[in-house]
Structure 1
Amino acid sequence: MAPAQRCPLCRQTFFCGRGHVYSRKHQRQLKVALERLLPQVRTGGRRGPWKPGGGDASEQGGPEGLGSESPARVLLSLSPFLPQVEAARKAIRAAQVERYVPEHERSCWCLCCSCEVRKHLSHGNLTVLHGGLLEHLASPEHKKATNKFWWENKAEFQMKEKFLISPQDYARFKKSMVKGLDSYEEKEDEVIKEMAAQIREAEHSRQEVVRSVLEVGFPRRSQSTSGSARPRRGLFSTWKVERNKQPSSLGLTAVLILESATSPRA
């Protein structure tokens, strides 16, 4: 009798060895699992693969021990990696170049190679989105590890091509990356020109404000000086003329003394 094994998909223990994966019940559970998996592969809406009874793959011990699992379990374990591969495939014909940010240092786990792979390709202050993952998927080492992984885990052969990038596709990605870099430089030049135009406009408006303030300030100052000095000089001259017209007190005293001296005494 074969040793007891646990099927995580059917959630039961069986004693027929690897022959359990060909049973009617297992195939029915496999079909249900794939129907749940396909929408997740297209949209990437879940953080982890589907698990009977709920939970993510991180709760089941990670990618270790896949060699003794069923094909359905292998496909479900690959589901977190599929959305990233599909997004990377979209970048083959239209590479996206962005300014580098620390978030571009993120890595993803390759189940076929059992290693972490940098998702993006960064150089200096620029980043090519999905460049690191595409470079890994196109490498000969990844192709060799993928063939070994598929043979050991008896996964569906039709899905293996989704995890490989041909040399022709990678060469096409390199050409689109060059075009993306050129378009990014053109956009940066346009942004710099717009910023320079805004700076010149701001400086021109500042000079206009300063000039208007100076033009308004000088006439007020001249009006204030001319309007305040002339009335003062006019009042002073008028007061001087009136003072000259009035007889002084000494003159009046002398006149009175002379009149009293010349007048006959009574």
Structure 2
Amino acid sequence: MEDPYSFCEICRINHTSGKKHSFSSKHTARLKTILKKFGSKISDSKKKLLNPVISKASSELSAVNVWCYMCSVEVKRHVADHHAIIMDAGLLEHLATPEHAKKVHQFFWENRLSKEQKKNYLVNEEGLDSFKEALKNALACYENEEETQLKKQAMKIKEIECTQTNVVNQKEEDLQITTQSEQQSGPSSGHSSGSWGNSSSGIKPHSKVQTEGVSKPHSKVQTEGVVYSDGLTFIGKSNCLPDGNVHTGAVPPWLRADDGEPTQTKPIGPTEQDFQEHLKKERKRKLNPARVGANFDRTSTNNPDWMPSFGRVWNSGRRLQSKQQYQRETGNWKKRKTMNGHHSGKY
């Protein structure tokens, strides 16, 4: 018994329509997009038959693959040759194989396509031979260009090395000259042999040195002089305050009161009253902000004639009666008559 189901490679579904499936709208739309997508790649590769393109070897280009819808196989698009990659060489070789030609004929017959479009998806042997001949010349030119680039890079490296050696030799010569001049000049005065080193910085000969009590073993030596140098800055004596400084136990300047401020200063940090107010605010913050009386101003003064907008607790009847009773007690009640003679009031 024959299987009623058949699988469509284009739509990727099983169907029971038979040959009618190739004429369905879904199948034709899918087939149109596939042929357009695959045909654009083939047309781009065919442009390189007469003008092969060679680029530097890279892992990304060598890993590019193309899916052939006619053969249902994956083909490498580019071919790696030593240190170069030949663009679209793998796809062109696949299009020229006889197996691909058979699959193209079968694909066109199953999908009821016109025979005129077959040549767009095939490459003849003559075109492949011309591609190989042009490829030889392109590879020779590419190798020559690579050699010239390598030679230029080698020349640049040699120039850099020469400059570096010249700089090192010049520094060594300068160092030898300075050592010879120091040896010829001999030992200098006591000042230059000290910690100052060069003669560019040190104490000038006109500086004064005053000594007091030299005969005593524990006497103090007071020196007065000016030191001159390109990288030094003179720092004079600082006039200390009469109260002393932080080293003598006096109050530091940043804790002293200003001239206009009183001597008594506020205690540092919050007081106990501030702490209690803070706790009160924290307790209120946890309450519901939409509660009754949350926005009531308790500091405002009320008029003695003020009456709440609700009736008295121990009275029965309407609120209007409570209001009238309250107004009678305060003496502000006036009987008002409307046009129809009824009594009325306002809250």
TM-score normalized by structure 1? 0.59
1:137 partnered with 2:137: no
Q: Which residue of 2 aligns with 1:199?
A: 157
Structure 1 pair 141/20, CA: closer, same or farther in 2 (3 Å)? closer
Q: Which residue of 2 aligns with 1:208?
A: 166
Q: Which residue of 1 aligns with 2:35?
A: 78
Gaps in structure 1 of 5+ consecutive residues: 9-14, 27-51, 53-68, 233-266
The 8 Å contact of residues 22 and 111 in structure 2, kept in 1 or not, is answered as no
Structure 1 pair 169/219, CA: closer, same or farther in 2 (3 Å)? same
Residue 108 of structure 1, aligned match among 42, 59, 66: 66
Bigger drift between 198-207 and 97-106 goes to 97-106
1:176 partnered with 2:134: yes
Quote the RMSD (CA, aligned, Å): 3.2
Residue 190 of structure 1, aligned match among 140, 148, 167: 148
Residue 90 of structure 1, aligned match among 37, 47, 53: 47
1:118 partnered with 2:76: yes
DSSP-derived class of the 2:128 partner: helix
* Separation of aligned partners in 2, 1:157 and 1:114: 20
Gaps in structure 2 of 5+ consecutive residues: 5-9, 11-16, 191-347
Q: Which residue of 1 aligns with 2:123?
A: 165
Kindly provide the amino acid, as one letter, of the partner of residue 79 in structure 1. K
CA deviation string 1:44-86 (max 9, x = no partner): xxxxxxxx8xxxxxxxxxxxxxxxx33x432222222122212
Whichever structure has more helix as a proportion of its residues is 1
* Separation of aligned partners in 2, 1:230 and 1:170: 89
The 8 Å contact of residues 112 and 145 in structure 1, kept in 2 or not, is answered as yes
Report the alpha carbon displacement of residue 20 of structure 1 after superposing the two structures with TM. 9.7
Structure 1 pair 169/105, CA: closer, same or farther in 2 (3 Å)? same
Report the alpha carbon displacement of residue 19 of structure 1 after superposing the two structures with TM. 10
* Separation of aligned partners in 2, 1:219 and 1:115: 78
* Separation of aligned partners in 2, 1:139 and 1:165: 8
Report the alpha carbon displacement of residue 21 of structure 1 after superposing the two structures with TM. 4.6
Kindly provide the amino acid, as one letter, of the partner of residue 100 in structure 1. A
Structure 1 pair 187/121, CA: closer, same or farther in 2 (3 Å)? same
CA deviation string 1:184-213 (max 9, x = no partner): 111110111012101110111011101211
Report the alpha carbon displacement of residue 99 of structure 1 after superposing the two structures with TM. 2.9
Q: Larger relative contact order (C-alpha < 8 A, sep ≥ 6)?
A: 1
Kindly provide the amino acid, as one letter, of the partner of residue 117 in structure 2. M
* Separation of aligned partners in 1, 2:144 and 2:89: 21
The 8 Å contact of residues 75 and 155 in structure 1, kept in 2 or not, is answered as no
How many residue pairs are counted as aligned between the two chains?
178
Structure 1 pair 114/130, CA: closer, same or farther in 2 (3 Å)? same
Structure 1 pair 216/132, CA: closer, same or farther in 2 (3 Å)? same
The 8 Å contact of residues 74 and 155 in structure 1, kept in 2 or not, is answered as no
Larger radius of gyration: 2
DSSP-derived class of the 1:199 partner: helix
